[in-house]
Amino acid sequence: MTLLDTGLVPRIPVGQWIDSGIDWITTNLDALLDVISDAGTSVTEGLAWLLLLPHPLIMVAIFGLLSWLVRSWKLAVGVAISFLLIISMNQWEQAMQTLALVLIATLTAVIIAVPLGIWAARSDTVSAILRPVLDLMQTMPAFVYLIPAVTFFSIGVVPGLFSTIIFALPPGVRLTELGIRQVDSETVEAGQSFGATDWEILTGIQLPLAVRSIMAGVNQVIMLALSMAVIAGMVGADGLGKEVVSALATINIAKGAEAGLAIVFLAIFLDRFTSALGAPADHSSSLLATWKKKRTAKSIHAATAA
């Protein structure tokens, strides 16, 4: 006999309340859900089409140049070799579909997370309200998000996108808030003493000084989004996740290993690229740093000559 049977603890039907709320949304917001579904599908498939439009070797060269631009030639070589291996494993199309899904999910999550993080940094009340919500979003098993996602949007890329955004969003909020709160208060007070408005202090002092922390949050959002790629494949989202799910269903070890390796290569590229964007001064051998050095030397030479 359980405590519920004895009547000492009442049965609280939390699950039925949530189920009723989802039924209400699907009944009353059907048109809005259709618009979101159509827009999400169009944008993700459009970006995947753009990534697949050039020849794969051209895209490999572009990804390599981007790596050299922000980090180093060594990363460029590593990225080129990794992406050539993806092509050789016949996973290129699926990799670009996954990259499109991750980029759209990350962009959407960052657009929501950064303003929320700024708001939480400037208000202790907002921070206290957001914290348990973010805890719930981050610790809830990712598969649970698929249930309302499929109810709202049926199967396809959009439920995968929806689940990925919810699961990946919390680190973006937390690290944006942390970065702004860690800005030296004396620096902020100096700005206030010069008559700077709140907006000028935010955009001219706090955000620039917090950019490393914010980019670390973006990096975490990308990593979590990639970790959701396989789960998104379970609801029909095209890409490497679908390959892994297919391999699991047929116990095809070779296919699963190749799709898994392709996800790892994408993760390494995105991790190194975004971390370099957050700390450009740490990468003196990048093309961007070399260009800045030449520009500074040219300016000094021109000033000396004058």
Q: Are 263 and 229 spatial neighbours (Cβ–Cβ below 8 Å)?
A: yes
Q: Quote the pLDDT of residue 92.
A: 92
Of the candidates 234, 240, 220, which has an alpha carbon nearest to the alpha carbon of residue 98?
A: 240
Domains of the chain: 40-278 (1.10.3720.10)
Q: Are 240 and 306 spatial neighbours (Cβ–Cβ below 8 Å)?
A: no
CA distance 272 to 259: 20
CA distance 101 to 124: 34
CA distance 113 to 117: 6
Tens digit of pLDDT at every position of the chain (306 positions):
677 777 777 778 888 888 888 888 888 888 888 888 888 888 888 999 999 999 999 999 999 999 988 888 888 999 999 999 999 999 999 999 999 988 888 888 889 988 998 899 888 899 899 889 888 888 888 778 778 888 887 777 788 888 888 888 888 889 888 888 888 888 888 877 877 788 888 888 888 888 888 888 888 888 888 887 777 788 777 888 888 888 888 888 888 899 889 988 998 888 888 888 777 777 777 888 888 788 887 777 777 776
Of the candidates 93, 247, 228, 117, which has an alpha carbon nearest to the alpha carbon of residue 182?
A: 117
CA distance 10 to 1: 14
Q: Are 284 and 68 spatial neighbours (Cβ–Cβ below 8 Å)?
A: no
- Tokens 């590229």 sit on residue: 269
Spatial CB neighbours of 76, under 8 Å, sequence gap ≥ 6: 64, 65, 67, 68
- Tokens 């990048």 sit on residue: 286
**Per-residue tokens: 285:** 């051998």
- Tokens 């979590």 sit on residue: 224
Q: Are 44 and 37 spatial neighbours (Cβ–Cβ below 8 Å)?
A: no
Residue 255, amino acid: K
Q: Quote the pLDDT of residue 306.
A: 67
Cα 232 to Cα 108, 109, 145, 149, distances in angstroms: 16, 16, 10, 10
CA distance 65 to 8: 67
CA distance 164 to 105: 6
CA distance 107 to 177: 18
Cα 103 to Cα 62, 184, 264, distances in angstroms: 16, 33, 16
Burial of 113 (0-12, 13-18, 19+ CB in 10 A): buried
CA distance 162 to 32: 14
